[in-house]
């Protein structure tokens, strides 16, 4: 039985990008004498420098890599199903 998930999967992917986005405003609280991360929200960097460029390029390269691997796995799956 095949399960098709289109819209929920997109929401998960968008949430994942928010988690791995390197530029975040982090909220810390002191818990038992130590600073603990209690929340964060993605933000756009305040200045455009080498770190921003490299991070953005790596993000795009990773996205392209995932899309290529996904497409190749779909082709391999169709080939084994047909033959």
pLDDT digits (tens, 9 = 90+) for 24-63: 888 999 999 999 999 888 888 888 899 889 988 998 999 8
Burial class (CB in 10 A: 0-12, 13-18, 19+), 40: middle
Paired tokens of 51: 């770190």
Average pLDDT over residues 10-18: 60
pTM of the model: 0.53
Mean of per-residue pLDDT scores for the chain: 80
Tokens coding 42: 């993605």
Q: Residue 28: beta bridge partners?
A: 37
């Amino acid at each position: 039985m095949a399960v098709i998930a289109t819209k929920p999967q997109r929401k998960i992917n968008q949430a994942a990008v928010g988690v791995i986005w390197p530029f975040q405003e982090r909220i810390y609280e002191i818990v038992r004498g130590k600073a603990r991360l209690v929340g964060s929200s993605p933000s756009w960097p305040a200045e455009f420098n080498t770190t921003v460029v490299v991070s953005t390029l790596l993000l795009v390269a990773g996205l392209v890599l995932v899309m290529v691997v996904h497409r190749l796995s779909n082709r391999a799956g169709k080939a084994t199903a047909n033959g």
